[in-house]
Amino acid sequence: MIDPVNKSKIPEEWLERSQMPRKELEEGIRSGMLVVLSNGSVLRRGYTTGTTAAIAAKAAVLSLGADVTHVSVPTPVGLRAKLDVKASKGHAVAVKINNDHESDITRGLEFAADAKETDGIVVNAGQGVGIVTRSGLESKKGHPAINPRPMEQIVASITEAVEELNLRGAEVTIYLPQGKEIAKQTLNNRIGIVDGISILGTTGFVEPWNDHLGEMKGDLIRESDKVVLTTGRIGIRYSTMLFPEYTVVLAGSRIDEALEAATGDVVICGLPGLVLKWGNPDMLKDSGFATVVEMLELDPGNERLRKAFEMAIGKGKGARIVVVDRDGTVLMDNGDGI
């Protein structure tokens, strides 16, 4: 089977080791919600803040016609996300589902939306959605912290509801009653997002994580003659394009652990914010910049960028280090490693 979210092949022996009924297991994998580990155990994905916001938004619009208890919305990877909701008379509440990720503090968070008919599609951000105060982020300075991909997802979900009810359009305001409080447990304030959380999501799904998942990835890395260790969803996309003959493994912030498992030809590829900060965790200290992306955008010749890249090469122990931006442009590359 192929995992429809990360496009990786699931070995048949992993499926055979699972204690879950085969039909239920395969249905869960096809839906994007289940991840099978090398020992046959199963972890549950969650929905991103972007998907949950889209669900609340669509439910609010649909409830202009009648009460709504269940909603399905599109995700960026082509799957449908489905969730029970409470929605009536243009007001909806969706609760972000629990998932098997030890550090997802937004599990169980309520996303609310209010809708009314209007001309065209309008999306507003209310209480608990952060506001961007600095440059260098995907959302523009002064605007709500809703990244472009989840905004597209929200608009597409509202459009489905508008078409279903044959409305002229809809204006939807999304808000999170506990968003401002939850944001205090994130790094948002340090990177220039205030008064709430960010609405994020490249695939629409939150990847699970536990200790054995780390072991499983270690097995995959050890078995690969050529492996790319990447830092996130965008890294996976471009690593697959840049290195089609390699096994691409999502290492996230655990690059050191992944390197320890690697025995063959190794590439570390990802966005600058993770790769360069892995090279030099203190590169932003006293720099006047909140993020690596802000530094790249406003001061691309900054010596700290070069130094962090050199430190990443040193920590890579001979791995090739490739830094890409969000449109796939290679910003830094030490060739075939050292």
- Range scoring the smallest mean pLDDT among 112-121, 159-168, 186-195, 295-304: 186-195
- pLDDT at 329 exceeding the cut of 70: yes
Span 107-111, mean pLDDT?
Answer: 95
277: left (phi over 0), alpha (psi -120 to 50) or beta: alpha
Average pLDDT for 90-106: 89
Which residues make up the CATH 3.30.2110.10 domain(s) of the chain? 47-205
pLDDT category at 326 given cuts 50, 70, 90 is: confident
- pLDDT tens for 163-208 read 999 999 999 999 999 999 999 888 788 778 999 999 998 889 988 8
Q: Give residue 212's pLDDT band: very low, low, confident or very high (50, 70, 90).
A: low
Residue of 8, 40, 2 whose CA lies nearest to 249: 8
Asked if pLDDT for residue 218 goes beyond 60, the answer is yes
Q: What is the pLDDT of residues 252-284, one digit of tens each?
A: 878 998 898 888 899 999 999 999 999 999 999
The pLDDT value recorded for residue 222 is: 81
Residue 88 confidence (pLDDT) above 50:
yes
Using CA atoms, how far apart are residues 99 and 109, in angstroms rounded to an integer?
A: 12
> How many angstroms separate the first and last alpha carbons of the chain?
37
**Cβ partners under 8 Å of residue 280, min gap 6:** 304, 307, 308, 311, 312
Fold of 47-205: CbiD-like (3.30.2110)
**Does the pLDDT value for residue 64 go beyond 90?**
yes
- Do residues 235 and 57 touch, judged by C-beta distance below 8 A? no
Q: Is the dihedral of CA 111, 196, 105, 251 positive or negative?
A: positive
The CATH homologous superfamily for domain 210-333 is CbiD-like domains (3.40.50.10720)
Instruction: In whole angstroms, give the CA distance from residue 106 to residue 64.
Output: 28
CA 30 to chain centre: 19
**Percent of residues, the chain, with pLDDT higher than 70:** 96
Q: In the chain, how long is the greatest CA-to-CA distance?
A: 64
pLDDT beyond 70 at 211: no
Q: What is the DSSP string of 62-83?
A: HTTTS-EEEEEEE-TTSPEEEE
Q: Which of 209-218, 246-255, 319-328 has the lowest mean pLDDT?
A: 209-218
Name the pLDDT band for 210 (thresholds 50, 70, 90). low
Predicted confidence at residue 67, as pLDDT, reads 98
Residue 39 per-residue DSSP state: T
Q: How far apart are CA 33 and CA 52, in angstroms?
A: 14
Reduced to 3 DSSP states, what percent helix, strand and coil does the chain have, rounded to the nearest 5? 35, 25, 40
Mean pLDDT (whole number) for 237-251: 83
Mean pLDDT of the chain: 91
Question: Binning pLDDT at 50, 70 and 90, where does residue 338 land?
Answer: very low
Burial of 127 (0-12, 13-18, 19+ CB in 10 A): middle
What residues contact residue 12 under an 8 Å CB cut-off, 6+ apart? none
d(CA 133, CA 155): 24
Query: If you search the block for the tokens 């998932």, which residue do you land on?
Result: 99
DSSP string for residues in 139-198? SPTTSBSB-HHHHHHHHHHHHHHHHHHT-SEEEEEEE-TTHHHHHTTSSHHHHTEESEE-
Average pLDDT over residues 70-78: 96
pLDDT > 50? residue 29: yes
In this prediction, residues 34-52 reach a mean pLDDT of 91
The DSSP letter of residue 117 is E
Specify the domain boundaries for CATH 3.40.50.10720 within the chain: 210-333
